[in-house]
Amino acid sequence: MTASDQKRERFAAASNEDVLETLHSRVEGLSSAEATARLTQYGPNRITRAKQQSQLKIFLKNFISLMAILLWVSGLIAMLTGTPELGIAIWLVNIINGCFSFWQEFQAKKATDSLMAMLPTYTQVYRDGQLQQVDATQIVPGDVFELQAGNAIPVDARLLEATSVQVDQSALTGESVPESKFVKYDPGEGEFAESNLVYAGTSIGAGTAKAVAIATGMNTEFGQIASLTQQQTKSASPLQRELNRLTKQISLIAIGIGLAFFIAAIFFVHYPAAKAFIFALGMIVAFIPEGLLPTVTLSLAQGVQRMAKKHALVKDLNSVETLGETTVICSDKTGTLTQNQMTVNHIWTRDKTFTISGEGYVANGKVKKDGQVITYRDDSDLNKLITVAALNNDTTVEQDEAGTPKILGTPTEAALVIVAQKAGFDVAAAVAAAPRLKEFPFDSERKRMSTVHQHDAHTLSICAKGSLSDTLSQCTTIADDGKIRPLTDDDRRAIDAANRHYAVQGLRSLAVAYREIPAAADQAAQVDALTIETAEQDLTFLGLTIMADPPRPEIYDAIEKCHHANIKIIMVTGDSTLTAKSIAVKIGLTSDKARVVTGTELDAMSEADLQEALRGEIIFARVAPEQKYKIVSTLQKNGEIVASTGDGVNDAPALKKADIGVAMGVTGTDVAKDAADMILTDDNFASIVSAIEEGRTVYANIQKFLTYILTSNMPEAFPSILFLFSRGLIPLPMTVMQILTVDLGTDMLPALGLGAEKAEPGIMHQPPRKRTAHLMNKHVLWTAFAWYGLIASLISTGAYFFVNVQNGWPSVPLAASGTVYARATTLVLGAIVFSQIANALNCRTKTVSVMRFGIFSNHRIWFGILFEIALFAFLAYTPGVQALFNTTAITAADWLFLFIIPIPIFLIEELRKYLVRRMAKTIN
């Protein structure tokens, strides 16, 4: 038994009092001063994982890639075969390229690391005798705190009170069946089995508890394990895998081409082997897409950062890509599509209907209507209903200093407290007068909750509220004009008609019911024996509260965007059929022909039927979160890529199953956030749509810079082909060092700029990308090689002959050395650099005119272009460098020639895009 095992056992076996005494704490918790002192002593409650990989290792990794090794070897051969300057230059380029890749990776990591810090976890801790929201990192040993279903357990703790607690300890034990925990000590079997201890890193799936922290941070069991194990390395995303494969394939092809060139150089041009090797190397380097992977990673990371600004926190880079492929969003209604700002605007009882604000309203104990004033206390049904709604309530509404009401709890319940306050009802006094003895918390399966109260010395009362169907089913009597009588079919029809009347307006109803039972001699035993079944039966139906929850204003645009983008939205709600449909139609989610499937129907449906139904317009109402799993998995069987929202513990399986699980950042439980791939910091549906748009943009941007990078390969290869096919008659128009310059130098920054391009208008007017679609598709290859590449090749070859013609060619043979040759190759390099300037601009859009897109709107591209020109000028004019790169100063006429190059390339492409747009218009 280790020391920590012993300590654990001591805490588990001791009484509540002894535990608190050992920890120098009390049931009321610590004072702020004590907590502050302990925080300095024990440090923040944080897990620091074992370092994954040393920075040095990550850094060195960039120097042992296939291409890096090729360059090391080539440099070495160059040094050994009498061209040491060339060797050194190749090595230098290799080192610069490695550093640049490292920098990109580092930036990407920084961008994603900072995200999770944006989402603190809070715990309800007693400090200075009051329950407060405390950042979980600030919890210290001895802190007393409350836990409820869905909370992550922040520290190792000993339970002081517990009501039907189930803990998910799978993070520690791997055991996915929840463990029951209770205050009475039972050592249990195996590790972490003590009945009254809960552990950091696990979560509470059901029940409520009060606990005292016994260990925090790295002193927790989870911390101990984390310090030993390495952080799980994330598996590569499909995109990264595709890129890896692509890079390998292209590299192999490049090496094949290199080999062919090597042989050709020896046999056609009679080069010595070493020289032929360096020559072939140029081709290999030209074709290997070396900077691709880090550039893609950085581009994804920047996408993640932009999403965060739009209230969508993505947990890892893989999701960015999946978001772009999303075809269906399953969305909750309350709080996601609507504002979750509930206002009770009607109260219906069998006898009278009360309208709050508008024609009549409840205020200061009076209901005013049509000039007449009823004191609500006179109306015993309404009085009773408001009392029950206030007692059966876990939410408090308090005025802060500024007088604005602050809600601690859920909006639905807050609306009930507020309506009671409007009626001049003293909620606090009512709660004090009828102490709560027991509770059966709300769950989304049962769709109701109930509480047991001490009504008076001889009577207990059971207060219940919940969805109409699930509450009315438990009622046998009804309150009508102050009397209680058996429920009749007539009553049921009247209730149903009232509910219908409001539901078709998109209003949400909540039924309220109660029962009084005589207190038994042994009241404690009587209360103890009460179960959900025995308590929630034989109730008296009091009435309905009708609440409005207006749609979020941004939702209309977001839904329209999804329709244009062929993304289907399926509302999945616990609310009633009529309310759900009314809202869906109102916000433009579905037509009024949409099929509404209830949870019960869903359970009964065969998979084939469901698969078929999911192809049409469909809404799910009165479903429990557990049932979302079936919806999500069936959609996936239909080949859909599914994003699904959720906030509760029971949403976790569906969140995990979905391609993109989306948890609510504000109202969501820790468990849901943990299971999700993306967290909305504003709980807003519109943020999912922004994230999808961003996901599509990132993918499009990657294709843009891929096209851009590939384009320069053509003009680089073209001169070498000329050289070989003329059997050396045409001297090599471009040297190896120059090819390296373009590939590892001038192309890099504009590519980065393309990676950060804004969304092209119309990106949400296309159907989702197919999962099977390849990044490097025909379109990319054609544009890069056959279109942009060909234009650039012609221009660069033109530049070569332009210099030679000036020098008197064809009467004078083509220069193979000396200043004319240097000037010719410099100009070829320049021609490629300047062609790429136009290409960088051209690649920014697929069909939209770059002029309209905003030619100066991407600063990074222009920074990259300036850098390109500066680097070129540096190579052409710096004395020592000239020899290495076979460059020389060029004339004013040459510069003019270079600056003219981008203009026709840019204009031709604008014309092509114009024609494509025109054709698309005539087709539609």
Minimum separation from the CB atom of position 587 to ligand ADP (A): 14
Minimum separation from the CB atom of position 705 to ligand ADP (A): 43
Nearer to ligand ADP by Cβ, of 203 and 573: the residue is 573
Minimum separation from the CB atom of position 601 to ligand ADP (A): 16
- Of 465, 568, 630, 673, the one binding ligand ADP (CB under 6 A) is 465
The two tokens of residue 268 are 């056609």
Minimum separation from the CB atom of position 616 to ligand ADP (A): 21
* Contact in structure between 538 and 476 (CB atoms under 8 Å): yes
Piece in contact with ligand ADP (CB under 6 A), picked from 61-69, 465-473, 672-680, 697-705: 465-473
Nearer to ligand ADP by Cβ, of 647 and 674: the residue is 647
| 3-state SS assignment for residue 596 | strand
The two tokens of residue 401 are 């200093």
Minimum separation from the CB atom of position 627 to ligand ADP (A): 11
Binding status of residue 202 toward ligand ADP by CB under 6 A: no
* Contact in structure between 681 and 666 (CB atoms under 8 Å): yes
Piece in contact with ligand ADP (CB under 6 A), picked from 109-117, 331-339, 607-615, 693-701: 331-339
Q: What would the x/- binding string for ligand ADP be over residues 467 to 496, using CB under 6 A?
A: x-----------------------------
What would the DSSP string read from start to end of 602-655? HHH--HHHHHHHTTS-EEEES--GGGHHHHHHHHHHTT--EEEEE-SGGGHHHH
* Contact in structure between 328 and 570 (CB atoms under 8 Å): yes
Minimum separation from the CB atom of position 63 to ligand ADP (A): 54
Binding status of residue 574 toward ligand ADP by CB under 6 A: yes
Minimum separation from the CB atom of position 465 to ligand ADP (A): 5
CA distance 890 to 876: 7
Nearer to ligand ADP by Cβ, of 574 and 755: the residue is 574
CA distance 220 to 156: 6
Q: What would the x/- binding string for ligand ADP be over residues 789 to 828, using CB under 6 A?
A: ----------------------------------------
Query: What is the DSSP pairing of strand 144-148 with strand 122-127?
Result: antiparallel
Nearer to ligand ADP by Cβ, of 158 and 465: the residue is 465
H helices within 117-179, ranges in order? Answer: 170-173
Nearer to ligand ADP by Cβ, of 466 and 665: the residue is 466
Running DSSP on this structure, what letter comes out for residue 656?
A: H
Minimum separation from the CB atom of position 448 to ligand ADP (A): 5
Binding status of residue 630 toward ligand ADP by CB under 6 A: no
Minimum separation from the CB atom of position 492 to ligand ADP (A): 17
Nearer to ligand ADP by Cβ, of 9 and 626: the residue is 626
CA distance 620 to 597: 5
CB atoms within 10 A of CB 165: 26
**Quick one: which of 153, 162, 224 has its CA closest to 7?**
224
Q: Give the distance from CA 900 to its chain's centroid.
A: 45
CA distance 80 to 68: 18
Q: How many residues bind ligand ADP (CB under 6 A)?
A: 19
Piece in contact with ligand ADP (CB under 6 A), picked from 203-211, 379-387, 572-580, 828-836: 572-580
What would the DSSP string read from start to end of 791-842? HHHHHHHHHHHHHHHHTTTTTSPPP-SHHHHHHHHHHHHHHHHHHHHHHHHH
Query: What is the DSSP pairing of strand 568-572 with strand 618-621?
Result: parallel
Piece in contact with ligand ADP (CB under 6 A), picked from 461-469, 748-756, 785-793, 835-843: 461-469
Piece in contact with ligand ADP (CB under 6 A), picked from 90-98, 199-207, 248-256, 573-581: 573-581
Q: Residues with catalytic annotation?
A: 332
- Of 203, 331, 334, 451, the one binding ligand ADP (CB under 6 A) is 334
* Contact in structure between 417 and 410 (CB atoms under 8 Å): no
Binding status of residue 466 toward ligand ADP by CB under 6 A: yes
Q: Using CB under 6 A, which residues numbered 415 to 454 contact ligand ADP?
A: 442, 444, 447-449
| 3-state SS assignment for residue 134 | strand
Q: Using CB under 6 A, which residues numbered 148 to 167 contact ligand ADP?
A: none
Q: For Cα atoms 64, 290, 95, give the angle at the middle one, nearest 5 degrees.
A: 50
Please enumerate, as own/partner, the contacts of 590-594 that have beta carbons within 8 Å and a separation of 24 or more: 590/617, 590/618, 590/619, 591/617, 593/617, 594/618, 594/619
Amino acid identity of residue 343, one-letter, is T
Closest residue to ligand ADP: CB criterion:
574
Binding status of residue 669 toward ligand ADP by CB under 6 A: no
Binding status of residue 346 toward ligand ADP by CB under 6 A: no
Nearer to ligand ADP by Cβ, of 38 and 447: the residue is 447
The single residue listed with the structure tokens 């967290």 is 679
Q: Using CB under 6 A, which residues numbered 507 to 566 contact ligand ADP?
A: 508, 510
How many H-runs (helices) and E-runs (strands) does the chain carry? Answer: 38, 29
How many Cα atoms occupy the beta-carbon half-sphere of 754 within 13 Å? 32
Where b means 16+ CB within 10 Å and e means fewer, 686-698 reads: bbbbbbbbbbbbb
Minimum separation from the CB atom of position 447 to ligand ADP (A): 4
Q: Using CB under 6 A, which residues numbered 366 to 425 contact ligand ADP?
A: 410, 412-413
User: Which residues would be at the binding site for ligand ADP (CB under 6 A)?
Assistant: 332-334, 410, 412-413, 442, 444, 447-449, 465-467, 508, 510, 573-575
